[in-house]
Amino acid sequence: MPYNIQIGDEINILARYNLKTTQEGLKIHSSAESNVIAATQRLFDKNLITQADGGYLTPLGRTAAEHAQNLLLIIKS
């Protein structure tokens, strides 16, 4: 699967989640950049997060966020 900007935006949202706790979510403000709002909506549509404006990770979303954050650790080193 080739990488594109939309996938990058979604990975950036997943990378913002704190995986040390399930009690901390995200809130994407309506004044955020349009690509951030759109990426968050796509993650919600894919059942990776609980709210269209962020919320908490679903079980599948947590797995995706773990993989995304591990990938970023590998490629940034």
Are the CB atoms for 50 and 58 separated by under 8 Å?
yes
Residue 2 has pLDDT above 80, yes or no: no
List, for residues 37-49, the tens digit of each pLDDT value: 999 999 999 999 9
5: which 2 tokens?
């900007």
Predicted confidence at residue 1, as pLDDT, reads 67
Biggest alpha carbon–alpha carbon distance for the chain? 34
Q: What residue segments make up the domains of the chain, in order of their start? A: 5-76
List, for residues 9-63, the tens digit of each pLDDT value: 999 999 999 999 999 999 999 999 999 999 999 999 999 999 999 999 999 999 9
